[in-house]
Amino acid sequence: MSDSLVTISKFLSLILRHQPEKIGLALDAEGWALVDELIACAANHGTVLSSELLFEAVDKNSKKRFALDASRTRIRANQGHSIDVDLRLTPLEPPPILFHGTATRFVDSILREGLRPGSRQHVHLSATRETAIAVGARHGVPFVFEVDASAMHRDGCAFFRSENGVWLTARVPAPYLISGK
């Protein structure tokens, strides 16, 4: 992805996940914004976007962080919100094991406290170890925890899968963590 598309993706992450008010944008209860309104609000705050650039940034985002509705008139982030939105996700039975990538400097606190969403609505889990390694590497030397998702589900914890395949849950208590590497 080109540098300009990376810049747009970072802008969209900030606005659609965390601070729509920064540009005066209104999201609906499900996190959707009107594309035309996003473009206009961005322009009013010094960020020039076109629908073509916006669509390209969404379509070429390898992590599929954003979604456009079928008419391509609305856009939202698929997960990672620190603001309250209802993505209308249906609880699903997860795979037996899911993965969480982090940096080695966080391992001790995670072993004590489990995985918490922090400022986000959910803990993010990956279906593959490779994806978790890539996530962990963004924060330093990667460490991957295996999560006993089967036991969590059996014990009543809800799991959801976002449109881009990221598994979400409210938290992962420490007893469900299988030490990784």
Question: pLDDT for 141-178, tens place per residue?
Answer: 999 999 999 999 999 999 999 988 999 999 999 999 98
pLDDT per residue as tens digits for the range 53-79: 999 999 998 788 899 999 999 999 988
**E strand or H helix at 113:** helix 107-113
Domains 3-77 and 97-178 share a fold: no
Please report the pLDDT score of residue 180 as a whole number.
65
3-77, what's its fold?
Arc Repressor Mutant, subunit A (1.10.10)
Residue 45's CB: how many other CB atoms inside 10 A?
12
What span, in angstroms and rounded, lies between the C-alpha atoms of 71 and 56?
15
Percentage helix, strand, coil for the chain under 3-state DSSP, each rounded to 5: 35, 20, 45
**Domain residue spans in the chain?**
3-77, 97-178
Nearest to 160 by CA among 105, 103, 94, 106: 94
Determine the topology of domain 97-178 in CATH: ADP-ribosylation fold (3.20.170)
1: pLDDT confidence band, cut at 50, 70 and 90?
low
Percent of the chain with pLDDT over 90: 81
Has this prediction a pTM greater than 0.85? no
Mean pLDDT of 48-55: 93
